[in-house]
Amino acid sequence: MLYLVLAFLTSVIVTMLVIRFDHLHSHISGDHDLGGVQKFHSHSVPRIGGLSIMMGMLAVLLAGAIKETHWFPQFAMLIVASLPAFLGGLIEDLTKKVGVLMRLGLTMLAALLGYFLLGAGIVRLDVPYIDLIMQFTVVSLLFTMFAVAGVANAFNIIDGFNGLSAVVAMMIFAGLAYVSFALGDWFLLIANMGMIGACFGFLLWNYPRGLIFLGDGGAYFVGFMVAELSVLLMARHPSVSIWFPFLLCIYPVFETLFTIYRRKFVKGVSPGLPDGIHLHTLIYRRVVRLQLGEDVARYKVQRNALTAPYLWALSSFAAIPAVIFWESPYILLGFVLLFIASYILLYKMIVNFKIPQWMVINKDS
């Protein structure tokens, strides 16, 4: 708990300072694009919230060094491994010149570092015969790199509304922390608790008013930490089924897979081409219906803030059973399939304008 509070206080103070002195750096850190298909803010906002989360984790690292804790060397290597993913996203936030493929490549590099520095490798999928192939180092390494980069990119995809990705990540870290505690793994417990505190410190300034955004640096850093800590939990504890972290992460992961399918096979366009029909975007446009008042800025803030709780609830439907049944792989798999079916049904209902009235928010601004 001490490290959670330390990460929280560091993050909340750094975020406050970033916002307070926005006038000094907004020309390079601000999100000035108000017209994109996935833009729902009405004025320039600093998009370097990932810096606050990283500083929160660095505060935990410093405390571990001062107290000479046994987990400090591993924690230090975890932070080192995360740097390519974080810095690639942060540089994109500041320069707008780091493409998606470059960011994915840097995140794969981060996974590569984690593989060799921490032994964070996926060596099993709990599927007969396939697990034999996963024993080959090259296969395990490549699969780990693609999986970690995929999860990191998934968090960048869902980072579309105030508080959405931060709260989803906090749910996942809480689930990982619970199992780490049950298994007596203090390194993973402290790492997850640190991320919860750091994300919460950022969240207080991000939700509901959107005074700062996570940015690519934050999204890739948070996504990398979710993936890396999940892989480490499986690698360090063979009793943990892959279906546990998969169910925890099913919302952002399936959102990404469904997006690729929708763009590539339904629309016949590049999977990397942005569009405005993610599930969270459809909820914003069709479920949260606020009558447009004279104060357009206030209208956008209200509508934005009312969107994320729908996805928090959806994600919790996976996170809660994952924590309850973390030792039961077949039950976990059943909930994975149930989530996928529920997601597709909900998406089809919203696309076809068959939304249950109890879901619809319709009020004056």
Write down the domain spans for the chain: 2-364
Decide: 59 and 10 in contact? Cβ < 8 Å: yes
What residue spans of the chain are helical by DSSP H? Answer: 2-20, 22-29, 50-66, 72-95, 100-118, 130-134, 137-158, 164-182, 186-206, 215-236, 243-248, 250-261, 279-282, 296-324, 329-351
353 exposed, middle or buried (CB, 10 Å; 0-12, 13-18, 19+)?
exposed
326 phi and psi angles, rounded to 5 deg: -65, -20
Decide: 196 and 177 in contact? Cβ < 8 Å: yes
133's tokens: 């192939």
What residue ranges of the chain have pLDDT lower than 70?
31-43, 290-298, 362-365
Alpha-carbon distances of 328 from 178, 204, 322, 324, 351, rounded to whole Å: 15, 35, 9, 9, 35
Alpha-carbon distances of 105 from 89, 102, 109, 184, 186, rounded to whole Å: 11, 5, 6, 34, 31
d(C-alpha 272, C-alpha 263), whole Å = 8
Decide: 232 and 81 in contact? Cβ < 8 Å: no
d(C-alpha 121, C-alpha 151), whole Å = 15
256's tokens: 């990404």
DSSP letters spanning 120-161:
------S-TTHHHHHTSHHHHHHHHHHHHHHHHHHHHHHTTS
Alpha-carbon distances of 213 from 115, 202, 272, 351, rounded to whole Å: 30, 9, 21, 28
Q: What is residue 30's DSSP assignment?
A: E
210 exposed, middle or buried (CB, 10 Å; 0-12, 13-18, 19+)?
buried
User: Amino acid letter at 10?
Assistant: T
267-313 tens-digit pLDDT: 878 777 777 889 999 999 888 875 444 445 667 788 888 999 999 99
Stated pTM of the model: 0.92
Coil vs helix vs strand at 271: coil
